[in-house]
C-alpha cells in the first residue's frame, strides 16, 4: 500500500514540477493553474465543434440512399440513387446563433448538397445523375452545390428578417404541412422519374416525364410543377412570429421575384391540423433556369398558387394529406407568335394512410397516393405543337422509423402514365418529339424503391 502511495506522490511531484517549469519557460506570468484554465477556455471557444464565445455552431444534415428498380415498358434496370437534390437529398449544414439580448438574436445557415447520383437527373442512359442544384446554378453538375447561405435577425415579438441565398416565402409551402412521416418518400414533385424519357408510338420520345410536370413560361426551371418557386435563390425574407398557430411570410428576390405565404398548425380534441397557402410571381429573365425568348419576347410574367393541408386523428393514427396548385402564365414570348402562351395548367395530389407503432423501434407509416397534372408541359413542348397533356401517378409505400438511430427505412411502388395531344396547326414540331397529330398514349412506367436515410 505504501509502495503505491509513494509512487503516486512521486508522479504528482514530477507533474507539478513540469507544469511549473513550462510556465516559467514560456514566461506566461501569474498563477500557472489560472493561466492553464484560460488557455483551455480559449481553445474550447475557437474549436469548430462549438463556434466562438458569442456564436454557437451546429453541424447537421442527413445521408439518404435507395435502390431504384424501374421498368419503362421496353427496358428495365436497377440503380442506386439519392432521394433528390434541392432540399430533400443528402446534405450537410452549418448553423448557429447568438443571443443579443432578451429580445433579439442573430444567426446564420450554410447548407451544402452532396450527391453524384441525384434521382432528379438519372435516366435510361445514365445511372449516375449529376447534382441538379449545381446544374441550375451553372456549376456543370459537380457533386457539391450551395443550397443556402444567409444570415438573420430575430425578435420574439416582431419576427425574423433574413438575407441571402434561401428558400422564398413560397418554396415547399404546400409540401411542408405533410406530417405523415413519408414526405421524403412520397410527394408530388417528380423526384424519382424526372429524368427518364417517355415512350409512345413504339419508340422513345424527345422529352422526359418531368417535362409533363413543369413550370410553364420557363424551360428547365428549377421548380417542378406544384412547387414552381422550388430553388433557393438570393432574396430578402420576412417571417412573422406565430400567433395562436398562425404565421405568414413574404420575400423579394432579384429582378424580380416575390412571394407571400400563410400557415396554420394546431391540435384539438385529438385532431392534428396543418394548412399552408402561397403565391409567387416572377418577371426574372436572368435568374435560375433558362427563359425561352425570341423575336416575340414581350417579357416574362409567371404566377403560381399552391395550397396544402394535412389532418390526422392522433388516437388512431389515420391521416390525410392533399395539395393543389395552378399556374398563371402571362409570358408573351412564343415561337407560335406574339401573345400566345402555354395553357394555365394545374395539378392535385392526395395521400392517405395510417401511422402506428407496430414495432418497438419506432412508428410505421403505411400510405397510398394519387396525383394528376393537367397541361403542365414545358414551353418548348408548346412551341413544338403540344396543346394538351395529362400525367397520372399513384403508388403504395411503407416507412419505418428507427428512433435510436434517427433513421428511416422504406419500400415503395409508383406507377406513371400519361397522354399528350398535338395541335394540327404546328404538327411538324411534334414529329421531332416522337409524337403524332392528335392524342398520344404514353407507355406506362413503374418503379420500386428501397432505401434509408440517417440524420446527424
Instruction: Convert the pLDDT of each residue in 36-87 to its tens digit.
Output: 556 555 555 555 556 677 899 999 999 999 999 999 999 999 999 999 888 8
- Measured in degrees and rounded to the nearest 5, phi and psi for residue 403 equal -60, -40
Is residue 429 a contact partner of residue 384, using CB atoms and an 8 Å limit? yes
Here the cell at position 34 is 489560472
Buried b (16+ CB within 10 A) or exposed e, 1-29: eeeeeeeeeeeeeeeeeeeeeebeeeeee
DSSP state of 196: S
Q: What is the pLDDT of residue 16?
A: 39
Q: Does residue 19 have a pLDDT over 60?
A: no
Q: What is the pLDDT of residue 48?
A: 53
Residues 193, 211: Cα–Cα separation, whole Å: 10
> Cell match 432579384: residue?
254
Here the cell at position 23 is 510556465
Indicate the average pLDDT of the chain: 85
Q: What is the pLDDT of residue 295?
A: 38
Is residue 194 a contact partner of residue 231, using CB atoms and an 8 Å limit? no
Instruction: Convert the pLDDT of each residue in 284-308 to its tens digit.
Output: 665 444 444 443 344 567 889 999 9
- Name every residue whose Cβ is closer than 8 Å to that of residue 156 and which is 6 or more positions away in sequence: 103, 241
Here the cell at position 369 is 397516393
Half-sphere exposure of residue 96: CA atoms within 13 angstroms, side-chain side: 14
Is residue 415 a contact partner of residue 444, using CB atoms and an 8 Å limit? yes
Ramachandran class of 178: left when φ > 0, alpha when ψ lies in -120 to 50, beta otherwise: beta
199 — pLDDT class (breaks 50, 70, 90) = very high
- Name every residue whose Cβ is closer than 8 Å to that of residue 424 and which is 6 or more positions away in sequence: 437, 438
Instruction: Convert the pLDDT of each residue in 161-189 to its tens digit.
Output: 999 999 999 999 999 999 999 999 999 98
14 — pLDDT class (breaks 50, 70, 90) = very low
Q: What is the pLDDT of residue 136?
A: 78
Q: What is the pLDDT of residue 288?
A: 45
Instruction: Convert the pLDDT of each residue in 363-388 to its tens digit.
Output: 999 999 999 999 999 888 888 889 99
Is residue 302 a contact partner of residue 218, using CB atoms and an 8 Å limit? yes
Domains of the chain as residue ranges with CATH: 1-25+32-46 (no CATH), 63-455 (2.40.160.10)
Q: What is the pLDDT of residue 38?
A: 61
Q: Does residue 95 have a pLDDT over 80?
A: yes
Q: What is the pLDDT of residue 15?
A: 35
> Could you tell me which residues are beta bridge partners of residue 60?
93
- Name every residue whose Cβ is closer than 8 Å to that of residue 108 and which is 6 or more positions away in sequence: 55, 94, 95, 96, 97, 150, 151, 152
Nearest-CA neighbor of 66 among 99, 36, 88? 88
Here the cell at position 337 is 407568335
DSSP state of 243: B
Ramachandran class of 12: left when φ > 0, alpha when ψ lies in -120 to 50, beta otherwise: alpha
Q: What is the pLDDT of residue 429?
A: 82
Q: Does residue 228 have a pLDDT over 50?
A: yes
**What are the DSSP calls for 285-322, one per residue?**
SSSSSEE---TT-----EEEEEEEEEEEETTTTEEEEE
Between 12-16, 56-60, 277-281, the lowest mean confidence (pLDDT) is in 12-16
pLDDT over 70 for what percent of the chain?
A: 80
- Name every residue whose Cβ is closer than 8 Å to that of residue 6 and which is 6 or more positions away in sequence: none
Question: What are the start-end ranges of the E strands in 119-270?
Answer: 144-155, 159-166, 197-200, 203-208, 218-219, 233-239, 246-253, 257-268
Residues 419, 50: Cα–Cα separation, whole Å: 55
pTM (two decimals): 0.84
The four Cα atoms 40, 46, 48, 51 give a dihedral, to 10 degrees, of 110
Between 6-20, 22-36, 51-65, 85-99, the lowest mean confidence (pLDDT) is in 6-20
- Name every residue whose Cβ is closer than 8 Å to that of residue 290 and which is 6 or more positions away in sequence: 218, 219, 220, 221
Average pLDDT over residues 141-165: 95
Residues 275, 246: Cα–Cα separation, whole Å: 9
Q: Does residue 405 have a pLDDT over 70?
A: yes
Residues 213, 228: Cα–Cα separation, whole Å: 10
Residues 449, 451: Cα–Cα separation, whole Å: 7
> Cell match 425574407: residue?
237
SS3 label, residue 429 = helix
Average pLDDT over residues 126-145: 85
Nearest-CA neighbor of 219 among 382, 430, 87? 382
Which is more confident, 104 or 378? Answer: 104
Amino acid at each position: 500500500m505504501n509502495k503505491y502511495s509513494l509512487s503516486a506522490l512521486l508522479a504528482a511531484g514530477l507533474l507539478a514540477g513540469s507544469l511549473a517549469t513550462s510556465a516559467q519557460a514560456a514566461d506566461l506570468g501569474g498563477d500557472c493553474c489560472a493561466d492553464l484554465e484560460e488557455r483551455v477556455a480559449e481553445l474550447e471557444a475557437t474549436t469548430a465543434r462549438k463556434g466562438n464565445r458569442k456564436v454557437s455552431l451546429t453541424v447537421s444534415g442527413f445521408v439518404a440512399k435507395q435502390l431504384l428498380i424501374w421498368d419503362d415498358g421496353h427496358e428495365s434496370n436497377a440503380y442506386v440513387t439519392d432521394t433528390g437534390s434541392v432540399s430533400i437529398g443528402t446534405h450537410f449544414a452549418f448553423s448557429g446563433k447568438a443571443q443579443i439580448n432578451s429580445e433579439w438574436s442573430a444567426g446564420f445557415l450554410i447548407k451544402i448538397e452532396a450527391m453524384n447520383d441525384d434521382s432528379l437527373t438519372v435516366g435510361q442512359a445514365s445511372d449516375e445523375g449529376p447534382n441538379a442544384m449545381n446544374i441550375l446554378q451553372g456549376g456543370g453538375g459537380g457533386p457539391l452545390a450551395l443550397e443556402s447561405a444567409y444570415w438573420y435577425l430575430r425578435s420574439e415579438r416582431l419576427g425574423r428578417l433574413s438575407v441571402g441565398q434561401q428558400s422564398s416565402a413560397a418554396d415547399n409551402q404546400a409540401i411542408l404541412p405533410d406530417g405523415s412521416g413519408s414526405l421524403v418518400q412520397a410527394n408530388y414533385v417528380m423526384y424519382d422519374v424526372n429524368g427518364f424519357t417517355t415512350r409512345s408510338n413504339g419508340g422513345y420520345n424527345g422529352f422526359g416525364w418531368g417535362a409533363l410536370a413543369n413550370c410553364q413560361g420557363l424551360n428547365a426551371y428549377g421548380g417542378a410543377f406544384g412547387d414552381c418557386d422550388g430553388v433557393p435563390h438570393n432574396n430578402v425574407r420576412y417571417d412573422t412570429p406565430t400567433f395562436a398557430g398562425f404565421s405568414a411570410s413574404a420575400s423579394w428576390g432579384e429582378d424580380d421575384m416575390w412571394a407571400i405565404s400563410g400557415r396554420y398548425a394546431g391540435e384539438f380534441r385529438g385532431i392534428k391540423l396543418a394548412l399552408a397557402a402561397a403565391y409567387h410571381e416572377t418577371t426574372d429573365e436572368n435568374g435560375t433556369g433558362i427563359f425561352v425568348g425570341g423575336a416575340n419576347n414581350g417579357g416574362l410574367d409567371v404566377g403560381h398558387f399552391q395550397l396544402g393541408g394535412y389532418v390526422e386523428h392522433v388516437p388512431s393514427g389515420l391521416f390525410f394529406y392533399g395539395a393543389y396548385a395552378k399556374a398563371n402564365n402571362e409570358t408573351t414570348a412564343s415561337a407560335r407568335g406574339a401573345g400566345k402562351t402555354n395553357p394555365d395548367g394545374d395539378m392535385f395530389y392526395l395521400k392517405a394512410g395510417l401511422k402506428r407503432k407496430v414495432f418497438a423501434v419506432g412508428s410505421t407509416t403505411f400510405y397510398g397516393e394519387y396525383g394528376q397534372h393537367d397541361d403542365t408541359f414545358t414551353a418548348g413542348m408548346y412551341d413544338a405543337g403540344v396543346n394538351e397533356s395529362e400525367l397520372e401517378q399513384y403508388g403504395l409505400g411503407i416507412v419505418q422509423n428507427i428512433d435510436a438511430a434517427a433513421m428511416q427505412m422504406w419500400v415503395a411502388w409508383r406507377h406513371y402514365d400519361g397522354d399528350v395531344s398535338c395541335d394540327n396547326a404546328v404538327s411538324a414540331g411534334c414529329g421531332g418529339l416522337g409524337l403524332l397529330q392528335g392524342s398520344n398514349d404514353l407507355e406506362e412506367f413503374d418503379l420500386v424503391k428501397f432505401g434509408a436515410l440517417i440524420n446527424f
